[in-house]
Amino acid sequence: MRTCKKISFSVNTDLKKQLLSWANQFEEVVWLDSNSYEFSSVEYEAVLAVEAFTALKTDYSQAFDQLAEYQQKTKDWIFGYLSYDLKNDVEPLSSKNDDGLAFSDLYFFQPKKIFLLKNEEVEMHYLDMVDDEIETDWDEILKVSSNEVNEQSVQNSASVQSRLTQEEYVNRVEKMLAYLHRGDIYEANFCQEFYAENYALLPLETYFELNKISKAPFAAFLKLEDFYLLSASPERYLKKTGSKVISQPIKGTAKRLPNVEEDEALKQKLRNDPKEISENIMIVDLVRNDLSKTAKKGSVQVEELCQLYSFEQVHQLISTISAEIANGISPVEVIRSTFPMGSMTGAPKISAMKIIEELEVTKRGLYSGCVGYFSPQGDFDFNVIIRSILYNSSNKYLSFSVGSAITAQSDPEKEYEECLTKAAAMHRVL
């Protein structure tokens, strides 16, 4: 059982930094921040969960079954992530590429302490065993000084390298195009890794800086023991509210420019670009098919198609697909039947994932997986882990990956430039 205390308080940037700075003392931290984007239709302005009471950490083998059992057994808030490599639990696939990060394939925990920020109010949900700490914790949070929460200057401690040269990237995209022209796939998301070894990262300070320049609607900071995620994700994977589920895939990207007229011209070009629109529509069809596996007949709807949204670094085309879940379908089954998300795989999904595994040189791991939560009622909300820095503090390995959708119309050189545009914010803070 949980004790709930509501406090009226202005939900602003300083409070968020105070909360997260206070939370950093714990071994398990999940922070989710909408950065006040209304389109994201999140339940809360921000959510913080800390300190595990129980936890589930496993590799891909029977991972979804274990998660379903854990979610049903706790019937409480649980927070965590699903890595891309859980594809191997859904389909007879494998992940054999190099992995410098060594994250578990799945990690969820039942937090002792939860903070829900919404409508100028902070709700504190504490397990009864620690509810006597509510007042003390709140006092400590408010005492976190501005000096502690201001972004420190993040110093480079090692150089960030590309796993592929531009020439190698182009050669691999050309091999993917050969599969496309042969008809094995219609579209696939090809990704490349940037990495640094022996990197002494300041995770929290770097996250503050990344969030300041990106202001993404599905931002996240995750700390689980020695493993960190610093995410400026603009994309939602899947959200469930009652019997309704929505997915919001992104396909179609243009960079932002400081000149207003030039920026507007790029927006209009993206809005009318046949290649970018076709990328988006192909993934919408894939998501519609995935959602139909657990939906009531005839309930799958496209609420928005190729709607243009602008973020700090890029313009994006986003579609919204919804469905009503059929009776008797568990929350985890809705995720299993749609995982991994179509925007990060391609169509047909299984063929695309096989080709991705062949042509990419590093294991994706948490990149292009998702992070989020389940509520006690079985609702959930998960982002797509893109525009994100991953870090293993025990071996000091830092990684971030970027990708783009490859279709028959793709120009490998332009796809490489799109990857650099997406990587700009991560490069800047590092």
pLDDT digit string, tens, across residues 373-406 = 999 999 999 999 999 999 999 999 999 999 999 9
Q: What global pTM score does this model have?
A: 0.95
161-162/187-196 β-pairing: antiparallel
Nearest alpha-carbon partner for 311 in 43, 117, 40, 30: 40
Residue 407 CA to residue 415 CA, distance in Å, equals 10
Q: What is the pLDDT of residue 263?
A: 95
Q: What is the pLDDT of residue 38?
A: 72
- Report how far apart, in Å, the C-alpha atoms of 424 and of each of 172, 256, 279, 410, 430 are: 22, 11, 22, 21, 10
Which residue of the set 45, 51, 193, 235 is catalytic?
235
* Phi and psi based region of residue 295 (left: phi greater than 0; alpha: psi -120 to 50; beta: remaining): beta
Residues of the chain short of pLDDT 50, as ranges, are 151
- Give the residue extent of every domain in the chain: 2-429
Residue 134 CA to residue 156 CA, distance in Å, equals 38
Q: What is the pLDDT of residue 324?
A: 98
417 is a catalytic site residue = no
251 is a catalytic site residue = yes
Q: What is the pLDDT of residue 41?
A: 76
Burial 355-373 (b: 16+ CB within 10 A, else e): bbbebbebbbbbbbbbbbb
Residue 340 CA to residue 108 CA, distance in Å, equals 17
111 with 79: CB under 8 angstroms? yes
Q: How many residues does the chain have?
A: 430
Q: What is the pLDDT of residue 10?
A: 87
Using DSSP, state whether 365 is helix, strand or coil: coil
368 with 87: CB under 8 angstroms? no
Q: What is the pLDDT of residue 119?
A: 86
Q: What is the pLDDT of residue 297?
A: 96
**Which CATH code, of 3.30.70.3460, 3.30.365.10, 3.60.120.10, 3.40.50.2300, is assigned to 2-429?**
3.60.120.10
Task: Compute the CA torsion angle 406, 408, 411, 415 (nearest 10 deg).
Answer: -10
Residue 279 CA to residue 404 CA, distance in Å, equals 10
Nearest alpha-carbon partner for 429 in 212, 111, 149: 212
250-255/301-310 β-pairing: unpaired
Which residue of the set 16, 87, 240, 251 is catalytic?
251
